[in-house]
Amino acid sequence: MADLERRPRVVLGVAGGIAAYKACELLRLFTEGGHRVRVVPTAAALRFVGEATWAALSGEPVSTDVWADPHSVGHVRLGREADLVVVAPATADLIARAATGRADDLLTAVLLTAQCPVLFAPAMHTEMWTHPATQDNVATLRARGVLVVDPAVGRLTGADSGPGRLPEPAELYALARTLLARADAAEPRDLAGRRVVVSAGGTREYLDPVRFLGNRSSGRQGYALARTALARGAEVTLVSAHVVLPEPAGAKLVTVGSAAQMRSAVLAAALDADAVVMAAAVADFRPAERAVSKLKKDAAADPAPLQLVRTEDILTELAAERSRDDQIVVGFAAETDDVLAHGREKMARKRVDLLVVNQVGVDRGFESVDNSAVILGSDGSAVEVPHGPKEALAHRVWDLVAERWRAGAR
């Protein structure tokens, strides 16, 4: 019984939208991750997925009605005892009722009594999401500290396509875990109201239509930075190059290929950003010429020497041409030897506010789920982040960014 009580307690609210079937996968991720989940579906949600399914997947009784088991006062107890409340899908109707403080069913009553982090994952048709009434209701909830992620863009019901799709369950689960990890922080949503830009992945510079110069970046560190910023309340634009990762729930995703494309996208997004974190591994060189067709192997001769030219120095340009004086620019330095010496030299040359210096190599840094680093500051500070999940390093980066904002200095 003691082990059961130590498991994080999650209330999964399910509103009446077709995306309710995806909440089944989210529920399974929670239970397999060791969480204790009580599902609270609305009456409309039960028309899409039945009570027996929720009970079987959660291993817990399903709460559907304020009049069921009135002696337990479930509409108060469930919210009070939860470590996290997730509403997925959150329909336009549910968002409207929550924003206006309605308590006309069990789920809205639970939302009024919850003292823990609350995450809404909207899913609805594009016209409903973009309607001023829905946007006003979302703004109201966000102002109260509720994390309402923007829906994904893609195929909706029928032939419709656009913003309104429920983010992927795996990304919602990752975001929920980040919220749980931050629940005891003094200011769990310390980035609320901030706009941040994060770059991720590795650019490619093509020699011909099939060959390119690139690197082994998986994009995981950049995506962890985006996800943790979202969990802490920021509005996030993620500029991503060549990754095989699900889109972080709630981020505005801009996909690019080359260093030149990365430069254009990052500089455009940075115009109104409070912080820019360049975690992408941008190729340092590109072929001087790009062949229009595949270069053929000539068995009788060696290939001609490959001439390279430098790519754009995006980080230096960002730091030198900030859109505002209080904008914070964070760079990354991936080094193989003399890590700190190279890092300090790069920081002096780039003139960034923070530089995350990490050693890379075979099974280290790139393509790994873990990372370690030293974060150098323009004030001469050096913060060591021990080997651990890339989310831990991401949080430490945002801690230092937030400290600079509070101090009123870069």
Residues in Cβ contact with 380 at an 8 Å cutoff, skipping those fewer than 6 apart = none
To which residue do tokens 């011909």 refer? 208
> What count of Cα atoms within 13 Å lies in the side-chain half-sphere of residue 175?
35
Distance CA 363, CA 234 (A): 32
Distance CA 118, CA 145 (A): 8
Residues in Cβ contact with 250 at an 8 Å cutoff, skipping those fewer than 6 apart = 147, 149, 150, 167, 175, 230, 236
* Residues 245, 31, 182: CA angle, nearest 5 degrees: 65
To which residue do tokens 């929550």 refer? 98
Q: Count CB neighbours of 2 within 10 A.
A: 5
What DSSP letter does each residue of 286-306 carry, written as one string?
EESS--SSPPPP-TTSPPPPP
Q: Which of 137, 215, 358, 371 is catalytic?
A: 215
Distance CA 106, CA 120 (A): 16
Question: Is 215 considered catalytic here?
Answer: yes
Active site amino acids:
215
